[in-house]
Amino acid sequence: MNKQKTGKPFYDKINESSFDSFGGNQFDPDYFEDVQNGYDPDYAGEAAAGAATRNEVSRPGQKMQINITISNPTAARQKVELFSAFFSWADIFKPEFVTGAYTAIPSLSTQGLATIGVGTVGWDQNGDLHHYGAALAASVAIGCGEYPYKSLLESTKTLPFRVTFLRIAVTTVAQLNNQITHFTRTFAGGYKQNQINVRSYKKPTQFQNLEVDTKTPFIIDGEKGLIYDLEIGEVVQIGMFINRWSRPQV
Kindly list the distances between the CA atom of residue 122 and the CA atoms of 4, 105, 116, 236, in Å, as whole numbers in the listed order: 50, 9, 11, 20
Rounded Cα gap, residues 241 and 65, in angstroms? 5
One-letter amino acid at 180 equals I
Q: 180 versus 59: which is more confidently predicted?
A: 180
The pLDDT tens digits for 102-129 are 999 999 999 999 998 899 999 999 999 9
* Residue 64 pLDDT level (bands cut at 50, 70, 90): confident
If you average pLDDT over every residue of the chain, what do you get?
82
The pLDDT tens digits for 147-198 are 999 999 999 999 999 999 999 999 999 999 999 999 999 999 899 999 999 9
pLDDT over threshold 60, residue 215: yes
Rounded Cα gap, residues 184 and 223, in angstroms? 5
* Residue 85 pLDDT level (bands cut at 50, 70, 90): very high
Kindly list the distances between the CA atom of residue 229 and the CA atoms of 34, 63, 157, 193, in Å, as whole numbers in the listed order: 26, 27, 24, 15
